[in-house]
Amino acid sequence: MSIFDNPHGVSFVKICAGGLILCSGIMFSYASIKQIVIRRHFIYHSALRLVVTLTVFWGILTCLRSISSDMQDLRTLFANPFVGGWPWVIPIVFFCASNHTVWKYLNRIFIQHLYFGLAIVPILLIINPELTIKYIRSDFSIFYCCGFLLLTFSFQSKKVKIMTVIATLVWLLGTVLHGQRVYILRIIYYIVASSFIFVFMQRKTFGKTVKLVSLFVVVASLFSFFLPVLMKSELVREKVDYLENRIFADTRSDVINDYFDAVKGFDRIVGLGALGRFWSPYFYKRFLVEGYDTDVDSPMRSTIESGYLHIILKSGYVMLVLVLLLAIRAAIMGVCYPKNILLLTCGLIIICRLVAMIPSLAPSFSPGYVVFWISIATCLNKNIKNISNEEMSSFFK
């Protein structure tokens, strides 16, 4: 449960959190608008520039459509990172990536965030273990930075590499304990993709590759040895059974059917706006039986788990087509025609997000979604393709 889920009532925590979101959105928009004026023609083709312009315009329009005189609606619109208006303004960050050095500063932020996460998790676990485990796996995760640091593993310092491995294991453990299928698959994807990049980068150094393979064999052997011992623990068996049930549980069909029954015709084309909602008989039945305390379980749904359906709900097929046009083109440029490690990394980040948005990961005003759009801009930047890996490595030092 998030502090933003229940809009009724005001508390000091809500005021502080909402104020931070509002200030972040304003500064974020101001910095991006400055870049629009300075750097307008860094994209490959004029057709793509038109698509970017339309995406930014439609996103802002999606947000503005929900402005009303109701104070509660205004608070939700400008102070809620999940179902507010800021997620639809995020495409404007596209222009911040016109300067590739943005990744140099992002890398520093990721490393600082990594150290902070490793330092604060033990304290949070003591205060509230359940809530800590939940946020370890979310799009606001303490370790959201691990994905990028894993993909650029070859360029990081030895200290950062060690901390990244530790944080990734904690991240994976938190998602497993919480039974979140999508986040488990995302972490596995980053691990496999980073291993591929690391081996590719070290292909001329046979000894390092042998060491990597040997380390993998040792870890796999230790895991296979200790797994039967761990399975004898009742707590471990309970978690394994819980995870198995979560993996095969159908938690989407009912609300998706309600969504298609409620949202039809023109509303699907242009969306219902940033504060758009739909009625869910499934959650109404749950309310009659179980009751609910927050808007997360409300029959009047302001979000839907699937990222693509959430885009259609709020901004329609128009935004979905625009996003896919940019993201798919960028992913192809990054993965199929990588000129350096940064392009390949961004391409892999885009693919991971596109796949994860099928069952989950609705757009939100979060670091993960911002990085997704910066990755798209980087892959479509005609200047970055001329940078060598040797020059790129200086960004990560």
pLDDT digits over 209-231, tens only?
A: 566 566 656 666 665 555 555 55
Rg over CA atoms, the chain: 22
What is the arithmetic mean of pLDDT over 72-98?
85
CA distances from 196 to 18, 70, 192, 326 (A): 41, 52, 6, 25
What is the arithmetic mean of pLDDT over 4-22?
62
DSSP 152: T
pLDDT of 276? 94
345: tokens are 């990394």
Task: Give residue 311's pLDDT band: very low, low, confident or very high (50, 70, 90).
Answer: very high
Inter-residue contact 167 to 330 (CB < 8 Å) = no
The answer on pLDDT for 12 being more than 70 is no
What is the arithmetic mean of pLDDT over 338-343?
85
pLDDT of 158? 87
Round to whole Å and give the CA distance between 45 and 288: 55
Spatial CB neighbours of 252, under 8 Å, sequence gap ≥ 6: 305, 306, 359
pLDDT of 61? 96
pLDDT of 1? 42
pLDDT of 208? 57
Of 308 and 14, the one with more pLDDT:
308
The answer on pLDDT for 325 being more than 90 is yes
Report the amino acid identity of residue 379: C
Of 295 and 88, the one with more pLDDT:
88
Maximum average pLDDT range among 245-254, 300-309, 381-390:
300-309
Q: What angle do the packed helices 181-201 and 341-356 form, to 10 degrees?
A: 160
Report the amino acid identity of residue 20: L
What is the arithmetic mean of pLDDT over 31-38?
63
The answer on pLDDT for 33 being more than 90 is no
pLDDT of 382? 79
- The HSE-up count of residue 64 (CA atoms within 13 Å, CB side) is 6
Inter-residue contact 42 to 382 (CB < 8 Å) = yes
Round to whole Å and give the CA distance between 363 and 371: 12
CA distances from 67 to 6, 10, 267, 319 (A): 20, 21, 18, 19
What is the arithmetic mean of pLDDT over 254-259?
89
Angle at 135 between CA 169 and CA 7, to 5 degrees: 170
Of 203 and 321, the one with more pLDDT:
321
Dihedral sign, CA of 261, 264, 267, 271?
positive
What is the arithmetic mean of pLDDT over 185-204?
76
What is the arithmetic mean of pLDDT over 163-168?
89
Task: Give residue 4's pLDDT band: very low, low, confident or very high (50, 70, 90).
Answer: very low
Task: Give residue 27's pLDDT band: very low, low, confident or very high (50, 70, 90).
Answer: confident
Q: State pTM to two decimals.
A: 0.84
Alpha helices in the chain (DSSP H): 12-38, 46-64, 71-79, 86-89, 102-127, 129-136, 146-151, 158-178, 181-201, 206-231, 234-248, 253-262, 266-270, 281-290, 307-336, 341-356, 367-379, 389-392
What is the arithmetic mean of pLDDT over 196-207?
63
